[in-house]
Chain A
């Protein structure tokens, strides 16, 4: 079974990008009603397609509200009760073989925090979705866009 067909069988998947990005080794996916996917469930599903595919990582573009919870900065996902802990980018999902110099995305987390004024801020954040011990599901900040 091709990977694309296998991915389409995952519950909650709305669409899969027409063409994969071969250079970066990635493909796009959208979920019904913009629901949050658990990377572990996704990883097991891809392994179970049984074509020798393995999930290297998953990146999500999430809109919501930047807020502070205790000592941590979080993103309250718009339209849901989900809260993602925000962390600095440590590893990208995209393959980046040609990279030789630091990029602005390395400091995206710090730059985002510099915008914090003590009040919730509407923002769209893109970055790897990871599960960290003690922090639960977290979003590493690679890019962000402030909303009005």
Chain B
């Protein structure tokens, strides 16, 4: 992936690699950040059968 083809730093492979990594990490972080934080639900269910919730 070359995200810096328009910038002068493209001639320095180390800088380019570092910048690409930062962008990828930022995108990963953003995708995690949009997760709403409802961790879990506990459903209380009444069941009218002998096996109950074990069904």
Contacts and interface: CB of A to CB of B under 8 A. Distances in A.
Interface string B35-49: 111111111111111
B54 interface: yes
Most buried by B among A7, A33, A82: A33
A95 B44 contact: yes
B45 A79 contact: no
A89 interface: no
A34 B38 contact: yes
Contact of A37 (B35, B41, B44, B49): B41
Contacts of B41: 28-31, 37, 58-61, 129
Interface residues of B, number: 21
Contact of B53 (A27, A34, A36, A64): A27
Given A22-B54, A25-B53, A62 B37 contact: yes
B55 A3 contact: yes
Most buried by A among B39, B43, B54: B43
A84 B40 CA distance: 16
A54 B43 contact: no
A54 to B, nearest CB: 5
A58 B43 CA distance: 5
Interface in A1-29: 2-4, 7, 20-22, 24-29
A53 B38 contact: no
B1 interface: no
17 contacts: A22-B54, A25-B52, A26-B43, A27-B42, A27-B45, A30-B41, A33-B34, A34-B37, A51-B49, A53-B47, A54-B47, A55-B45, A60-B42, A61-B39, A62-B38, A80-B37, A95-B44
